[in-house]
Structure 1
Amino acid sequence: MDKKLSHQIVLLIIIFCNTAFAQNDSTNVSDSIKKEKNIKFNPFPYFSHNKVLGYYYGGGGMLTYRLQKEDTISPRSTTGAFYVRTTNDTWFSVLFTQMYFNEDKWRVIAATGTGLYNFQTYTELPDSEPDFYDYGSRSVMLSAKVYRKVYKKNYLGLGYYYSRTKTRFEEAATDSISNNNSLQMLFLRDTRDNVYYPKKGSKLNAMFTLYPEWMGNVNNFGIFNAYYNRYYGIRNDKDVLAVRAYAKVATSTLDFQRQVVINGIDLRGYTDGKYRGDGKVDVQAEYRWNFLPRIGLVGFGGLGTLYGSEFSEFNGSLYPSGGFGVRYLAIKSTQMRIGLDVARGKDDYAIYFRIGEAF
């Protein structure tokens, strides 16, 4: 699957699943927990905009529930679906589930989806100057991950990811078809006080993905992804300082569908697909200023670099990101916030309608 599309899907899954529950580390059962409905339905809208895809619109719904009614340590599990379309005829739909059980000793995450992604890439064709060229990718994906707590807040896990992508460039006469089957080795350390709006603690997530030839892949190689989020309560925990570091490293040169693009939650403000390569590293920070009980502002900034681009001048260059946003506390019980971000990148910009924080 094209990485931009898969990042959008993963980002939406994380955002929408996280709005449904808050982490509860206490073994005491409060009256509110005793009386809560075991199954709740939560509809959600989605709206956003960037200069390439145009306006996004769509939404979906999800069920939140406890797999074991008396298990008040595990977060509520979630199962749902969503559909998003843009004004340039990009669309995608996803079914997803996140299940927590046995006092949060086990976590299972699964998703399947399909979509059509009309985007652009920056490249140089024979006898022409570098320029943007349109392409369309039709994709189908399936993902499943299982985590087991091994010590305190540390988890080990295994995952499987399958995707089939058919890509056609505006200058090409034939389609490029990519079939990927991969195995994932997973590590998670999660000490956040709240999985939706943490004010202290951290999350370390590391994944090594193998594409072995015996699973039908053309080449045998691996990709390492990792991120670390840290949260600090400020002004007696009214505000939050959040910092994030992200890295992607591949063991060999990647094909077009598996390359990384500078965009998304890691360096907001990039939407045109210009900076693409085999890996990237970036850091960012965000201050969440809650100056009124239900209204707040955020300011963020970051810096990253890229390697493995076809343009040597892109490799090792610095890519800044910065912007601000407004937040509204929509649901007090989960601390779920909605808002709008305006971000600026290198020769690019973006506007994001957000349900939940970026990280």
Structure 2
Amino acid sequence: MQAHFALPFRTLTAVILGLLLAFAGAPQGHANDKPIQFFDPEDGKLDLSDFLLNHKGALVVPTIITEPAIGYGLGVGMAFFSQSISEAAAEAKNSGKGMAPPNITVLGGAKTDNGTWGAGLAHFHTWDADRYRYLGAIAKMHANLDYYGQSSRPRGYELDGVFFMQQLLTRVGDSHWYVGPRYVYFDSNTRFTGEVANELNLPGRDLKIGKLGLVVDYDTRDNMFYPSRGTYAEFEAQFARGAFGGKQDFNQYNARGYTWLPLSEKWILGLRADGRFSSGDIPFYAQPYVDLRGVSKGRYQDQNAIVTELELRWDVTPRWSVLGFTGAGKAYGKWNDFSSASTATSVGAGFRYLIARKLGLSLGIDVARGKDDNAFYIQIGSAWR
């Protein structure tokens, strides 16, 4: 989610859109009526491949939230699959066309110990052997957050809002490129609960934002869950105008890219770059921020933000891997120029267990330390999405 309207909505998408992404592609398999096995016959280890490949209908997935910006909490998502991944693969094989992910509808919600909560509905749909990809979502949320701004100290505020998004991407020929429009609408109400951030000169509490933009995706990853090689990149230009249903006029330009380089059979180097830029009358809560493990979301926030991160992974066994990572970022442009802006840094380590071998789906934990926070994250696959 690149709208960056509200920090907690990214947590809600971990429940809703994260499920959509988790099942947006898979290697070919075959539907069958055999009993579901939870241990891989190849190595005898715990494995959910058989269950996930052949599951059809409703699937309940719980989520544990550990984000420092909103505290600890729980979420739950219920995904409804039109067909199993094995059925989708068999259909693709019979038709002679490429593999297309199943259509999915997801209902989800989340709540944390600082009073933040959200609930929403999303739908992912493809046509013509995955040539066209549609994603739509609607959500309601309430968040208790801190704004740092010019003073670099936290000022608590409440954010209530209704979010609506529509996106349609089209594959460019037979390439790895997708392109299409994205529309985002956010109707919000904000209130500072203690000290007011006077530097904002807020005109009022109620804001409506309507943004229309263009999204370009590129993807050559060998596995979308936990890649060992390949590149993923997304470029986005969005324009908020009154003509699109909002009251604020501003522009946002976002670009992010991840690449994985195999140094040897067991060592994988990952590189990440992320830039978020804005201009015009952008609401304070929608300003770009530094997004790093170990750094509270919104702690470093300004007109622009850039981040770079490095991750080194060692595949100890076919099932287990360990990794170390470090990164740095800056938010600058309105309160500070680039040279005087504080540099956010983080360092950490983690592990993964290959829980679904046929899908390449892994599960694990990352522990990270930043300048101001320590945090741990329960990860499904790569931390970069």
Q: Is the 8 A contact 2:248 2:281 kept in 1?
A: no
Q: Which runs of 5+ in 2 are unaligned?
A: 33-52, 93-97, 197-201
Q: How do 1:252-263 and structure 2 match up within 5 A?
A: 252-263=280-291
Distance (Å, rounded) in 2 between the aligned partners of 1:182 and 1:81: 24
Distance (Å, rounded) in 2 between the aligned partners of 1:73 and 1:118: 42
Identify if the C-alpha distance between structure 1 residues 65 and 287 changes in structure 2 by more than 3 Å, giving closer, same or farther. Answer: farther
**TM-score normalised by L of structure 2:** 0.80
Q: Which residue of 2 aligns with 1:114?
A: 140
| Matched letter for residue 33 of structure 1 | H
Identify if the C-alpha distance between structure 1 residues 315 and 98 changes in structure 2 by more than 3 Å, giving closer, same or farther. Answer: farther
User: Is the deviation greater in 104-113 or in 7-16?
Assistant: 7-16
Q: Which residue of 1 aligns with 2:154?
A: 132
Q: 1:245 aligns with which of 273, 280, 301?
A: 273
Q: 2:59 aligns with which of 42, 46, 50?
A: 42
Q: Is the 8 A contact 1:250 1:279 kept in 2?
A: yes
For the residue of structure 2 that corresponds to 1:353, the secondary structure is strand
| Matched letter for residue 70 of structure 1 | E
Deviation at 1:357, TM superposition (A): 1.7
Deviation at 1:98, TM superposition (A): 2.1
Distance (Å, rounded) in 1 between the aligned partners of 2:16 and 2:232: 17
Q: Which residue of 2 aligns with 1:27?
A: none
Distance (Å, rounded) in 2 between the aligned partners of 1:130 and 1:149: 44
Deviation at 1:274, TM superposition (A): 2.9
Distance (Å, rounded) in 1 between the aligned partners of 2:273 and 2:15: 20
User: Is the deviation greater in 320-329 or in 45-54?
Assistant: 45-54
User: Is the deviation greater in 89-98 or in 209-218?
Assistant: 209-218
Deviation at 1:228, TM superposition (A): 1.0
Identify if the C-alpha distance between structure 1 residues 52 and 21 changes in structure 2 by more than 3 Å, giving closer, same or farther. Answer: closer
Identify if the C-alpha distance between structure 1 residues 185 and 315 changes in structure 2 by more than 3 Å, giving closer, same or farther. Answer: farther
**TM-score normalised by L of structure 1:** 0.86
| Matched letter for residue 214 of structure 2 | M
Q: 2:91 aligns with which of 34, 55, 70?
A: 70
For the residue of structure 2 that corresponds to 1:227, the secondary structure is strand
Q: Does 1:157 align with 2:186?
A: no
User: Is the deviation greater in 51-60 or in 102-111?
Assistant: 51-60
Distance (Å, rounded) in 1 between the aligned partners of 2:269 and 2:341: 28
For the residue of structure 2 that corresponds to 1:260, the secondary structure is coil
Q: Does 1:229 align with 2:229?
A: no
Deviation at 1:272, TM superposition (A): 6.6
Deviation at 1:155, TM superposition (A): 1.6
Distance (Å, rounded) in 1 between the aligned partners of 2:376 and 2:224: 25
Q: Which residue of 2 aligns with 1:22?
A: 25
The superposition leaves residues 279-336 of structure 1 with CA deviations (integer Å, 9 ceiling, x where unpaired) of 1111112223221232221211112121134356885432212111122222223222
Distance (Å, rounded) in 2 between the aligned partners of 1:16 and 1:219: 32
Deviation at 1:350, TM superposition (A): 1.7
User: Is the deviation greater in 182-191 or in 239-248?
Assistant: 239-248
Q: Is the 8 A contact 1:309 1:315 kept in 2?
A: no
Q: Which runs of 5+ in 1 are unaligned?
A: 25-29
If each structure's strand is expressed as a fraction of its own residues, which one has the higher value? 1
Q: Which residue of 2 aligns with 1:286?
A: 311
Q: Does 1:274 align with 2:284?
A: no
Distance (Å, rounded) in 2 between the aligned partners of 1:185 and 1:168: 32
Q: Which residue of 1 aligns with 2:43?
A: none
Q: Is the 8 A contact 1:15 1:356 kept in 2?
A: no
Distance (Å, rounded) in 1 between the aligned partners of 2:62 and 2:267: 27
Q: Is the 8 A contact 2:300 2:330 kept in 1?
A: no
For the residue of structure 2 that corresponds to 1:75, the secondary structure is coil
The superposition leaves residues 239-287 of structure 1 with CA deviations (integer Å, 9 ceiling, x where unpaired) of 5322211111113352213212223xxx111117332111111111222
Q: Which residue of 1 aligns with 2:233?
A: 204
| Matched letter for residue 209 of structure 2 | N
Identify if the C-alpha distance between structure 1 residues 314 and 43 changes in structure 2 by more than 3 Å, giving closer, same or farther. Answer: farther
- Aligned pair count reads 345
| Matched letter for residue 182 of structure 1 | K
Deviation at 1:79, TM superposition (A): 1.9
| Matched letter for residue 243 of structure 2 | W
Deviation at 1:354, TM superposition (A): 1.9
Q: Which residue of 1 aligns with 2:30?
A: 33
| Matched letter for residue 344 of structure 1 | R
Q: Is the 8 A contact 2:166 2:184 kept in 1?
A: yes
Identity %: 25
Q: 2:78 aligns with which of 53, 56, 61?
A: 61
Q: 2:115 aligns with which of 89, 94, 101?
A: 89
Deviation at 1:11, TM superposition (A): 4.8
C-alpha RMSD over aligned residues: 2.7
